[in-house]
Amino acid sequence: MNNKELGIYIHIPFCKKKCYYCDFVSFSNLENKQTGYIEALKKEISCYDLEEYNVTTIYIGGGTPSYIDCYEIKEILDELRKRLKNNETKFSDIEITIEVNPGTVDKEKLEVYKLSGVNRLSIGLQSTKDILLKEIGRIHTYKEFLQSYEHAKQVGFENINVDLMLGLPNQSIQDMKDSLKEVIKMEPNHISIYSLIVEEKTPIKKLIEEGELQLPEEIQERRMYWYVKSMLELSGYNHYEISNFAKEGRESKHNMNCWEQKEYIGLGVAAHSYINGIRYSNVTDLDCYIKNMMELKNVKKQLQSKTNIIYNICEVQNLEDKQKEYMLLGLRKIQGVSITKFKEKYVENPIFLFRKQMEKLTKEDLLQIDGDYIRLTNKGLDFANQVWEEFV
């Protein structure tokens, strides 16, 4: 059996409405482009040779994948199933996740996803407070989330992630505690907690600059984070990555593979891939992506071509690049980087290889060596960006 693992990411860039904090490549009011886009996606899938890989995860993200017709999701997965037909991979063994937003999904859609092979849902709640949802441009209410969650359980989904956000404008610690309490009661087996990042050129940045919205102070946002960590661990969730908590055995395989530097391909406009130490991305222009893919003969040839016009080559890694990135990604995990696994992959001992960084970061109490693992300290969790910068 082929052991070369591969993850697949599929980007659905359409939304009913863009959230105020979103800086992803996604579009609202372009429903007339959806059919052409799905055809282009299927064409891109059909050109890939997946025979040499053991596909372990498929992740459908966006945008809002649940906004488009559910049968178009089925078409995409059917095309992938065809490409894996002669592979030893069984479709049912693959972790297949789709992101869904309340207000864009109903019971029928969820049933079609289930029948198409989807076995994991990631539901974007963000907060149980409707006023906070409205202020960040979310289209749903808490009641709609509850309906979506209930429908998912009725349809038979067992592996469900719920997204929450910290540090939202006008969010109090009590607001966050209330949201967390309600979500824990529902017992999803995975919870992601993201701190709001205010990106350039987003509507939320303008609203904050104009004084219409006010962010909590950084110390308050950190208190929220540590409260969440404590409560989720007491409730039986394993804190396995900076922003992610899971019941035993329910960690996101797709994300874990990325943090362990395994290979993946990204399908769709602006999607990124990592193969053979090369990072490349699709074009970000929707019309250009559709045109390129419909004219495409063979993706593999395009990747080998030095006059590449279909993809943007972002990075061609040398050995040092790979080693640094392995550290950077691995230090997102709470368990940290295994010294043994690093040596198995790169021969050298990371403590010696990165002795300057290790000396500095341990002296600052941001990193610790604990048996076979190099991991973030509690202080390091608060200042993780400073740690990661040392390995860029």
pLDDT of 306 reads 37
| pLDDT of 17 over the 50 cut | yes
Least-confidence region, from 17-31, 52-66, 102-116, 306-320: 306-320
| pLDDT of 88 over the 80 cut | no
pLDDT of 4 reads 83
Indicate the average pLDDT of the chain. Answer: 93
pLDDT of 47 reads 85
Output 53 or 352, whichever has higher pLDDT. Answer: 352
Mention every residue, 6+ apart, whose C-beta is less than 8 A from residue 131.
170
Q: What is the mean pLDDT of residues 235-256?
A: 97
Mention every residue, 6+ apart, whose C-beta is less than 8 A from residue 387.
331, 361, 366, 367, 376, 380
| pLDDT of 307 over the 50 cut | no
pLDDT of 1 reads 47
| pLDDT of 375 over the 70 cut | yes
pLDDT of 349 reads 97
Which band of pLDDT confidence, cut at 50, 70 and 90, is reported for residue 113? very high
